[in-house]
Amino acid sequence: MSDLNFLLYLSLTILTGIVLLNLLRRKQNTLNLPPGSMGWPFVGETIGYLKPYSATTIGAFMEQHIARYGKIFKSNLFGGPTIVSADAGLNRFILQNEGKLFECSYPSSIGGILGKWSMLVLVGDMHRDMRAISLNFLSNARLKTKLLKEVEAHSLFVLNSWKHNSTFCAQDEAKRFTFNLMAKHIMSLDPGENETEKLKKEYITFMKGVVSLPLNFPGTAYRRALQSRSTILEFIENKMQERITEMEEGKVNEIDAAGDDDDLLGWVLKHSSLVKEQILDLVLSLLFAGHETSSVSIALAIYFLQTSPETVEQLREEHIEIARAKRQLGEVGLNWDDYKKMGFTQCVINETLRLGNVVRFLHRKAVKDVRYKGYDIVRGWKVLPVVSAVHLDPTLFDHPQRFNPRRWQNNGNGSTSLVGTSSTTNNNNIFMPFGGGPRLCTGSELAKLEMAVFIHHLVLKFDWELLDPSDQPSAFPFVDFPKGLRIRVQRRDTVYI
Ligand code: HEM
Ligand SMILES: *[C@@H]1O[C@H](CO)[C@@H](O)[C@H](O)[C@H]1NC(C)=O
Ligand SMILES: *[C@@H]1O[C@H](CO)[C@@H](O)[C@H](O)[C@H]1NC(C)=O
Ligand SMILES: *[C@@H]1O[C@H](CO)[C@@H](O)[C@H](O)[C@H]1NC(C)=O
Ligand SMILES: *[C@@H]1O[C@H](CO)[C@@H](O)[C@H](O)[C@H]1NC(C)=O
């Protein structure tokens, strides 16, 4: 009897198995996955995808795959099946549907180094809360009242140290500017002080690990970076402890410690309920997000402008006009109205971000089965919106490889150089240097302000030439000048009237 039961059970199980398998196969067959190749087991096509290439191109991997499969294709990248998108519409669709159909999903090595509370890896409510803090900290009101002054002071701190007819690495100088600015704004560290310099040194080791292969063995860049991470966290923790002690003493002495609100650390300690570990990761990742990207953008602007003397001429006209008007009014220091007059400069900034593509692609995954333009994107698959491929698409931008800031002029009423875009709204759909949707870069306005103010004083005070024409921006995929962009500068006469 029990034998019979067992047989019955067995055949039922087998039957169900067959039915399920068939259903699954039928589903697979009816799925319309994009074309593409899955490459080798496990590594897939990752090595080809990450191979360094010129930053003003999309690289051989993307070129070959788009030519063969179209702008949406499947692959196997970063250890899993992946949909790669060079399609402006799909990229936008992915970013807009964050949290609904797709979700941020960076490789675990990024979490290991930036921390599990880093904004780049958080999703859901925790991400929303952290984002609110960073938005508050980078609000337009703060930009106008506080940050503009700081940005100008830190630009001048760096530019005034440049000697007539001297040579140096422009990329390092740009880093010095953006790092000093962030260190001041986040923890009230002053430029040039020992502790600021020490932190900056540690940070360079840290960055080398972020951009390296995540191999955690003694002697690797990744391992050294993990050690740097602990050193940096210790540093931040000390600062935090100092601050807490100050605040407590302030209370005892009944001194109003309102000044502490001035930097992020003070603000977070007073107004948020984050625990120590969360604050450390937040500070570390803001320092990271806030200085690498904008310093590379400034180096790129210095590089691109050299290739276009007529652009530098037009920029100078704009900035000399602003400086002259200020001199006549007897004003010192840029204000928000001056910034709003930098219209052509904004074109230069957009063009630099379009051609240089500091952030080339984002990491997402599908959290539901999604159908887009007839293609199926399977739940759990990785999805990579490649924003750089859209910015360098010849069907969207006329001669995309050319640095031409004028293509952004009058873009509200039918530009000739932005092919197929007739309004600013359309423009926003294809131009996404800061990502988009609920995770749009919270530092985008600060980044533009940093670039504009630095460019203002740069073109007023200096002429510059590149010393090594072979030192071109490369994508590793992090954009970088391999030799640091060496330049020679000459001081200009600064009499405008
Ligand atoms: C030209 C300079 C910059 C570029 C190109 C850039 C680009 C980006 C991009 C593409 C993202 C989206 C990442 C994703 O969706 O996965 C992002 C996020 C972010 N950026 Fe930037 N960024 C720049 C400067 C800055 C600055 C100066 C700050 C802060 C001071 C900053 C803070 C952040 C933060 C906090 C996030 C995370 C936002 C979130 O997850 O909600 N960025 N950035
Ligand atoms: C600038 O310095 C170089 C050497 O570093 C020298 O050969 C050149 O004559 C100098 N030019 C000017 C204009 O001073
Ligand atoms: C900074 O370091 C130098 C030497 O390393 C030392 O002479 C100087 O006193 C230090 N300054 C401060 C403010 O600690
Ligand atoms: C630059 O790009 C942004 C979209 O990110 C757009 O809103 C802005 O109008 C552009 N600026 C100019 C001068 O075209
Ligand atoms: C765009 O509008 C400006 C004034 O708003 C005008 O001067 C310019 O000629 C227009 N450009 C085109 C291409 O229509």
Q: What is the pLDDT of residues 310-367, one digit of tens each?
A: 999 999 999 999 999 999 999 999 999 999 999 999 999 999 999 999 999 999 999 9
Find the 346 Cα to ligand 4 centroid distance in Å: 7
pLDDT confidence of residue 321: 96
Question: Can you tell me which atom of ligand 4 is nearest the CA of 343?
Answer: 13
Contact between residue 31 and residue 369 where contact means Cβ atoms under 8 Å apart: no
Residue in 147, 98, 146 with CA at minimum distance from that of residue 122? 98
- Please report, for residues 4, 202, 328, 368, 396, the alpha-carbon distance to residue 25 in angstroms, rounded to integers and kept in the order given: 31, 53, 77, 19, 39
Residue 419 or 264, more confident: 264
Nearest listed ligand to the Cα of residue 415 = 5
Band of residue 192 on the pLDDT scale cut at 50, 70, 90: confident
Residue 94 or 114, more confident: 94
Residue 456 or 207, more confident: 456
pLDDT confidence of residue 423: 42
pLDDT at 92 over 80: yes
Contact between residue 387 and residue 91 where contact means Cβ atoms under 8 Å apart: yes
Choose one of 292, 441, 448, 480 to mutate for the ligand 1 pocket test, by most ligand atoms within 8 angstroms of C-beta.
441
Region 86-98 average pLDDT: 97
Region 99-114 average pLDDT: 90
Establish whether the linkage from the previous residue to 477 is cis, with ω within 30° of 0. yes
Question: Can you tell me which atom of ligand 4 is nearest the CA of 432?
Answer: 5
Find the 424 Cα to ligand 5 centroid distance in Å: 13
pLDDT confidence of residue 167: 98
Q: How many CB atoms lie within 10 A of CB 377?
A: 25
Question: Can you tell me which atom of ligand 4 is nearest the CA of 349?
Answer: 1
Band of residue 413 on the pLDDT scale cut at 50, 70, 90: very low
Q: Is the dihedral of CA 278, 230, 361, 299 positive or negative?
A: positive
Find the 301 Cα to ligand 5 centroid distance in Å: 26
Region 467-475 average pLDDT: 95
Question: Can you tell me which atom of ligand 1 is nearest the CA of 447?
Answer: 27
pLDDT confidence of residue 148: 97
Find the 442 Cα to ligand 4 centroid distance in Å: 16
Find the 406 Cα to ligand 5 centroid distance in Å: 13
pLDDT at 417 over 80: no
Name the burial class of residue 238, with classes exposed (0-12), middle (13-18) and buried (19+) by CB atoms within 10 angstroms of its CB. Answer: exposed
Band of residue 88 on the pLDDT scale cut at 50, 70, 90: very high
Q: What does the mean pLDDT of the chain come to?
A: 88
Q: Is the dihedral of CA 222, 228, 232, 234 positive or negative?
A: positive
Band of residue 17 on the pLDDT scale cut at 50, 70, 90: low
The predicted model scores a pTM of 0.89
CA-nearest residue, atom 6 of ligand 5: 410
pLDDT at 24 over 60: no
Residue 58 or 31, more confident: 58
Band of residue 129 on the pLDDT scale cut at 50, 70, 90: very high
d(CA 223, CA 231): 13
pLDDT confidence of residue 79: 84
What pairs with residue 168 in β-bridges? 487
Give 106-111 contacts, CB < 8 A, sequence gap 24+. Answer: 106/363, 107/78, 107/79, 107/214, 107/363, 109/214, 109/222, 110/210
pLDDT at 173 over 80: yes
pLDDT confidence of residue 260: 45
d(CA 361, CA 82): 13
Pocket of ligand 1 from Cβ distances under 6 Å: 104, 119, 131, 134, 138, 286, 289-290, 293-294, 297, 358-359, 362, 433-435, 439, 441-443, 446-447
Which percentage of the chain shows pLDDT scores above 90? 65
Region of poorest pLDDT, from 63-77, 191-205, 291-305, 365-379: 191-205
Find the 234 Cα to ligand 3 centroid distance in Å: 20
Strands 486-491 and 462-466: antiparallel
Band of residue 112 on the pLDDT scale cut at 50, 70, 90: confident
pLDDT at 414 over 50: no
CA-nearest residue, atom 3 of ligand 4: 428
Pocket of ligand 5 from Cβ distances under 6 Å: 410, 413-414
Choose one of 340, 431, 451 to mutate for the ligand 4 pocket test, by most ligand atoms within 8 angstroms of C-beta.
431
Q: Is the CB of 411 under 6 A from ligand 4?
A: yes
pLDDT confidence of residue 421: 47
Q: How many CB atoms lie within 10 A of CB 197?
A: 13
pLDDT at 150 over 80: yes
pLDDT confidence of residue 400: 96
pLDDT at 27 over 70: no
Residue in 481, 491, 442 with CA at minimum distance from that of residue 175? 481
Nearest listed ligand to the Cα of residue 190 = 3
